[in-house]
């Protein structure tokens, strides 16, 4: 997973759907779904239609941490879950 660096001005405090998070951070929506199911990326709410919503700033911090632990420290998802 590689995360695009975004300036703070590009990331608002509004909540966005999985597809928006995936697009912002150059990952597949299935990756976001996986991290959510595994308890690594908690949702911040639900839309009226039932879509999971995420805070982009919070998601960025978590996705960067997961990326670092997976790619630099070579930890498994199971090991990362214990740390987060």
Phi-psi domain of 10 (left: phi exceeds 0; alpha: psi -120 through 50; beta: other): alpha
Instruction: Name the residue with tokens 């912002």.
Output: 24
Task: Write out pLDDT tens, residues 4-13.
Answer: 444 444 444 6
* pTM (whole model) above 0.95: no
Helices (H) and strands (E) in the chain, counts: 4, 3
Task: Write out pLDDT tens, residues 12-40.
Answer: 468 999 999 999 989 999 999 999 999 99
Give the chain's domains with CATH numbers: 11-83 (1.10.1660.10)
């Amino acid at each position: 997973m590689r995360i695009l660096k975004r300036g703070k001005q590009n990331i608002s405090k509004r909540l966005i759907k999985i597809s928006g998070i995936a697009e912002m951070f150059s990952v597949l929506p299935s990756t976001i779904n996986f991290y959510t199911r595994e308890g690594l990326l908690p949702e911040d709410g639900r839309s009226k239609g039932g879509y999971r919503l995420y805070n982009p700033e919070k998601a960025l911090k978590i996705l960067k941490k997961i990326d670092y632990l997976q790619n630099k420290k070579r930890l498994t998802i199971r090991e990362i879950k214990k740390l987060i």
